[in-house]
Structure 1
Amino acid sequence: MDKISHFLAELQSFAWGLPLLILLTGGGIYFLIRSKFLPFQYFFHAINVLRGKYSNPNDPGEISHFKALSTALASTVGMGNIAGVAVAIFIGGPGAIFWMWVSAIIGMATKFFTCTLSIMYRGKDSAGNIQGGPMYMITEGLGKKWKPLAVFFSLAGLIGALPVFNVNQLTQAINDILLKPAGLFSGITTNLIIGAVLVIITFMVILGGLKSISNVASKLVPYMVVLYFVAVSVILITYIDVLPYYLKLIITDAFSAGYFKGEAFLGGTLGGLILLGIRRGAFSNEAGIGTAPMAHGASKTSQPVREGLVAMLGPFIDTIVICTLTALAILVTGVWQSSPANGVSLTATAFTSAMPVIGNYVLLLCIVIFSVSSLFSYAYYGTKCMSFLIGDRHKYLYNYLYLGSIFIGATTTLDMMINLIDSFFAFMAIPTMIVTIILAPKVVKASKLYFKSLSNKT
């Protein structure tokens, strides 16, 4: 068992190592250059598309632009925004946040390309329903001879979409923040109860398929972003006198790496800091992994570029807004230097420092909403992968595996399983980025025509 555990730990380290980061970051920079930053000029146009200004109920697809973005955000906004940012600051200091911003800008370009392609090359499942996602981008955009790559993505997606890590961290947060301080029993029985509640909630939502998932996500996501924004705003107002200092420190430390205590990269601490920030950003916004194109591919639209613009907003909201809020809360309270805590515990310490009585409970509420909403989206991603592999009639089988994994995540530490799932999550990025890089000229051509038509109207 130890050998297997060691192998999976090494596999996870390799999967999220330099080759993948080069593929994700290099690919994103390539997309930025190929598009000449043009999509960024239409940021406010993307917001109008999201609001439904250009929607046509007769367009093909299942859900609105807003519900597609909400479904995608429900999966990306989670523990990475709360615990992942804390890890980045704990290891890299304030400068790590700057490189997470860089990762977000690169990720915005990546999501624009991947999600434009998810509409441009939609296919049909065995039931004849229109579907989008990397597997269909590959078979429809590159041809049937590339189907093994689509199968590889779908197989990786079956494991990568399992919610074991998310449930495990949520259970741990409930125990640490709520049950143990209150002197309540926390053990295997309590964890089973937490798992059972999560299974029931998840089953009730995913039973209705994508429309049910998107309906719930479209209601939860705006509320959870506003709740977190308000909570952190209270902290920032409390420490408003030091806020400018830390905003400046994020930028200056990004190039001095004065607080970095991780492993050097390319012969220096600055290289290590850049690698850390880029990696944490990639974990957070999932740009290039292939999950978002599955959600955006179901959007009701006949204009691929519009959906790409909407998808581009995802990394901005996830990383530049929410991750920055977490970072500032940790920095201005000073806990990043005064507390030995790491991960979600460091974020909890920041909330407690600023709001002594209710801080932990406010954070726990945010964690619960973030984590539960992600359960719904990942169930959808897994069933889409299952449908592609064995047909629409049998995709429901994945739900049994998915719901069972919630119990596993709630009742065990699962270091071995988490490494396995993280590895397969990373493997999803390989076919996603390959097909997007190959088909990028198609996106550039479509974008020029679309933006030219907008210019002609104005």
Structure 2
Amino acid sequence: MNPLHDTLQNTLQVIDNLVWGPPLLLLLVGTGLYLTLRLGFIQIRYLPLALSYVFSNKNRTKGSGDISSFAALCTALSATIGTGNIVGVATAIKLGGPGALLWMWIAALFGMATKYAECLLAVKYREQDANGQMLGGPMYYLEKGVGSKWLAKMFAFFALGVACFGIGTFPQVNAIVDAAYLSFEVPKEYTIVLLTILVATVTLGGIKSIASVASKVVPVMAGFYILACLLVLTSQADALPAAIALVISSAFTGQAATGGFVGAGIMLAIQSGIARGVFSNESGLGSAPMAAAAAKTDSCVHQGLTSMTGTFFDTIIICTMTGLTLVVTGAWQSDYAGAAMTTYAFAAGLDSGYWGPLMVSVGLMFFAFTTILGWNYYGERCITYLFGVKAILPYKVIFLVLIAGGAFIKLDMIWLIADIVNGLMAVPNLIGLVLLRKVVISETKAYFDLLKSASQGTTQTA
């Protein structure tokens, strides 16, 4: 045992509990709930319309911007679909029991409204940098909309921390290195060298290069992982109804893997589900707006609708697939944790000692790699806001150094650091959303009034 390590970990745990205590959870869910009610359950009523924007070629490159609306969504998804979908879900269920999955769903439902609002504001208040690229995100709507430079700088500082020390580096690198070693016996040093070269090759090309890779890789990797989960769930179809019932019932009893009905408590299930859900889909954090701001669009509402589907894909679909796979196979009650738990679930569900774990490892490596790419861009936008375009190259060099060193940090500390900086990043963004709620509501009303009148005009003409 290392006393210094234990002391540091205990200190970080205390800070994490304070950051992710009831006030932040209430602010996150409360903001989403408020926006849901004021926008008339937009995430449910207009989800089909939003999905049509995603899957239709129409309007993908309409308006000013750096990349297509679809590419902006894929860039945001590249950052959100990561270890949180595999490791994060397993961690949440290990701590809070199967009920944590229900709280992830609830957080995601309200989070869709939050994601819609923050991406709408990102497009509305965006501007161009000295290199001619679009700049947008919470920094800009906090400064230009709210009129608070200190809140804007606070967000940029914390978001930069997430990019360098949270979601963007350490958890992803650690996941890739472990998966490569466990599945293919590739030495840690070889994986680090190759990963650093690949990240440098893509990210030095800027947003267009990152978006190009994301637009190709994200749909394929998500489809691959969903198919793998469906194979497990199909093979365990008889256990699926009981698994769903357990998820719902244990959300209100606090049944945990480690302590039965006595251990976790409902609060731990809620905290685990919401915290891991936010870690995965990033609704309310303010990250996705930075990608949305680069979209070629002439409507902030259009991009808001497109962007909110990211939370739907990430949590309602992919995290659900992982969670149900863990429950139907009984993996959540095993002695495993994190990626090892999900690997065990696939091995048990597919009755395979090789192909199941291989699917998890390949999915995890692709998910983690694209998350690194997306967060590299987010960090770049924050460093540009704080110090100007001259700071981009030094930032990218530092980012690559952190990638190279990420595999040598203990996993328990990684998740604590990631959780802390995530929570701190969310606070100024959520304050901005609350203060700019009337802008979101008025822009939404104007857009749908226009759609309605256009539809009526078409009907009358016909």
- Say if 1:134 and 1:290, in contact at 8 Å, map to a contact too: yes
Tell me the equivalent position of 2:157: 155
Cα 1:416–1:333 shift into 2, 3 Å: closer
Structure 1 residue 323, shift from structure 2 partner: 0.7
Residue 396 of structure 1 aligns to a residue whose secondary structure is helix
- Say if 1:326 and 1:347, in contact at 8 Å, map to a contact too: yes
Cα 1:423–1:55 shift into 2, 3 Å: same
Tell me the equivalent position of 1:19: 23
Which stretch of the first structure deviates more once superposed, 202-211 or 92-101? 92-101
Structure 1 residue 18, shift from structure 2 partner: 2.5
Tell me the equivalent position of 2:297: 301
Alpha-carbon distance in structure 2 between the residues aligned to 1:256 and 1:56: 46
Q: Choose the corresponding residue for 1:346, options 341, 346, 355.
A: 341
Tell me the equivalent position of 2:424: 427
TM-score, structure 2 as length reference: 0.90
Task: Give me the identity figure in percent.
Answer: 37
Alignment of 1:124-135 (within 5 A): 124-135=128-139
Alignment of 1:439-458 (within 5 A): 439-458=436-455
Structure 1 residue 52, shift from structure 2 partner: 4.6
Alpha-carbon distance in structure 1 between the residues aligned to 2:397 and 2:305: 35
Structure 1 residue 391, shift from structure 2 partner: 0.8
- Say if 2:38 and 2:441, in contact at 8 Å, map to a contact too: yes
Structure 1 residue 455, shift from structure 2 partner: 2.1
- Say if 1:170 and 1:368, in contact at 8 Å, map to a contact too: yes
Q: Choose the corresponding residue for 2:384, options 361, 384, 387.
A: 387
Q: Choose the corresponding residue for 2:288, options 278, 288, 292.
A: 292
Alpha-carbon distance in structure 1 between the residues aligned to 2:406 and 2:142: 32
Amino acid in structure 2 at the alignment position of 1:44: P
- Say if 1:62 and 1:299, in contact at 8 Å, map to a contact too: yes
For the pair 1:437 / 2:434, whether they are aligned, the reply is yes
Tell me the equivalent position of 1:169: 175
For the pair 1:311 / 2:317, whether they are aligned, the reply is no
Structure 1 residue 239, shift from structure 2 partner: 1.1
- Say if 1:123 and 1:140, in contact at 8 Å, map to a contact too: no
Tell me the equivalent position of 2:239: 242
Residue 383 of structure 1 aligns to a residue whose secondary structure is helix
Structure 1 residue 269, shift from structure 2 partner: 2.6
Amino acid in structure 1 at the alignment position of 2:189: L
Cα 1:128–1:372 shift into 2, 3 Å: closer
Alignment of 1:112-127 (within 5 A): 112-127=116-131
Q: Choose the corresponding residue for 1:218, options 190, 215, 233.
A: 215
Cα 1:33–1:263 shift into 2, 3 Å: farther
Q: Choose the corresponding residue for 1:141, options 141, 145, 150.
A: 145
Structure 1 residue 416, shift from structure 2 partner: 5.0
- Say if 1:192 and 1:410, in contact at 8 Å, map to a contact too: no
- Say if 1:161 and 1:425, in contact at 8 Å, map to a contact too: no
- Say if 2:98 and 2:327, in contact at 8 Å, map to a contact too: yes
Alpha-carbon distance in structure 1 between the residues aligned to 2:33 and 2:379: 29
For the pair 1:253 / 2:250, whether they are aligned, the reply is yes
Amino acid in structure 1 at the alignment position of 2:362: L
Alpha-carbon distance in structure 2 between the residues aligned to 1:319 and 1:375: 19
- Say if 1:60 and 1:302, in contact at 8 Å, map to a contact too: yes
- Say if 1:166 and 1:371, in contact at 8 Å, map to a contact too: yes
Structure 1 residue 176, shift from structure 2 partner: 3.1
Alpha-carbon distance in structure 1 between the residues aligned to 2:9 and 2:319: 31
Deviations 1:15-52 (A, max 9, x none): 23332222211111111122121342111111222235
Extract unaligned runs of 5+ from structure 2. Answer: 456-462
Q: Choose the corresponding residue for 1:49, options 53, 59, 65.
A: 53
- Say if 1:191 and 1:411, in contact at 8 Å, map to a contact too: no
- Give the alignment's Cα RMSD to 1 decimal: 2.3
Deviations 1:306-326 (A, max 9, x none): 111111111111111001111
Which stretch of the first structure deviates more once superposed, 49-58 or 86-95? 49-58
Residue 307 of structure 2 aligns to a residue whose secondary structure is helix
- Say if 1:133 and 1:290, in contact at 8 Å, map to a contact too: yes
Amino acid in structure 2 at the alignment position of 1:433: L
Tell me the equivalent position of 1:198: 195
TM-score, structure 1 as length reference: 0.91
Alpha-carbon distance in structure 2 between the residues aligned to 1:77 and 1:168: 16
Amino acid in structure 2 at the alignment position of 1:103: A
Structure 1 residue 229, shift from structure 2 partner: 1.1
Q: Choose the corresponding residue for 2:367, options 367, 370, 384.
A: 370
Structure 1 residue 384, shift from structure 2 partner: 0.8
- Say if 1:108 and 1:313, in contact at 8 Å, map to a contact too: yes
For the pair 1:111 / 2:115, whether they are aligned, the reply is yes
Residue 20 of structure 1 aligns to a residue whose secondary structure is helix
Alpha-carbon distance in structure 2 between the residues aligned to 1:229 and 1:26: 31
Amino acid in structure 1 at the alignment position of 2:141: M
Tell me the equivalent position of 2:460: none
Would you say how many aligned residue pairs link Structure 1 and Structure 2? 445
